Amino acid sequence: MDNKIDFDSKPVRLQKLLAACGVASRRGAEKLILEGRVKVNGVTAGLGQSAVLYLDSITVDGVKITGKDKRIYLMLNKPCGYLTTKRDQRGRKTVMELVADVGMHIFPVGRLDKDSEGMLLFTNDGEFANVIMHPSFGKQKVYEVDVRGDVQNAVSLLKLPVKIDDHTVHACNVELKKVTMDGGTLLITIIEGRNRQIRKMCTVCGVPVKTLKRISIGTLELGDLQPGKWRYLTDDEVLLLG
């Protein structure tokens, strides 16, 4: 992972610059630009535009971007009932409430839906977030999934290509952890991260999800971190993930 940008020498595309400054991931930065929330020298920016951080005045929602924030990396054990978003117009609980005591601008890396729990990373390093989220970097995510139905049959079905939302996906690995009276527990590994992907895959394969918990990303494991609690990643953990 290379976060170094020569801010002083030549213009840098805004989405890359905003990501390097910790405003959002590159995809999130593109969304900010498309929504008209980014300005360069007082003029609303366009997608594909470039700028020089220390020569141009760059603002997001009226706040000037300086690129001087310390890099932050942390893990939250997300409980059920919280939305993975920075703000919700309907006033529902968001994961940002659980990390409010960090005291610096950070954003969630990827998503866990409201009814899911487990490992959720936060950072202000957009390049780090891109490495974790984009499938081309091959970061495996492992989920512990309690399901109803024929779990033994589902183990083989989930490894085959499954079509959801006009996309074909499949699990990298599926292990049967436990069999119960009405179903069991699966360990499902994926690289993609489409909306509610595992829930939809399991439904297609005849084993609807009861509970879903992400327990690892790449080399990083959730461990004994309690629900609703967070901790900083160590330097070694960041290095191995990146």
Look at residue 5 and tell me if it is in a domain: no
Task: Write the pLDDT tens digit of every residue in 190-201.
Answer: 998 788 999 999
Task: Write the pLDDT tens digit of every residue in 134-187.
Answer: 888 889 999 999 999 999 999 999 999 989 988 899 899 999 999 999 999 999
Q: Which domain holds residue 171?
A: 140-217
Strand segments, DSSP code E, in 93-240 are: 107-109, 117-123, 141-148, 162-164, 167-169, 173-179, 183-190, 209-217, 220-221, 230-232
Reply yes or no on whether 113 is catalytic: yes
DSSP H or E stretch at residue 140: none
Q: Could you tell me if 172 and 211 lie in one domain?
A: yes
Look at residue 4 and tell me if it is in a domain: no
Q: Could you tell me if 131 and 165 lie in one domain?
A: no
Q: What is the pLDDT of residue 225?
A: 97
Q: Could you tell me if 126 and 147 lie in one domain?
A: no
Q: Could you tell me if 90 and 104 lie in one domain?
A: yes
Q: Could you tell me if 23 and 80 lie in one domain?
A: no
pLDDT tens sequence for the chain (242 residues): 444 444 445 788 998 888 877 788 888 889 999 999 999 999 999 999 999 877 788 999 888 887 656 788 999 999 999 999 888 889 899 999 999 988 777 889 988 999 999 999 999 888 888 899 888 888 999 999 999 999 999 999 999 998 998 889 989 999 999 999 999 999 999 998 788 999 999 999 999 999 999 999 999 999 999 999 999 999 999 999 97
**Residue 42: left if φ>0, alpha if ψ -120 to 50, beta else—which one?**
left
Q: Could you tell me if 112 and 168 lie in one domain?
A: no
Q: How far is CA 49 from CA 26, 36, 65, 68, in A?
A: 13, 13, 16, 22
Give pTM, 2 decimals. Answer: 0.75
Look at residue 6 and tell me if it is in a domain: no
Q: Which one is catalytic: 61, 69, 88, 113?
A: 113
Q: How many domains are contained in the chain?
A: 3
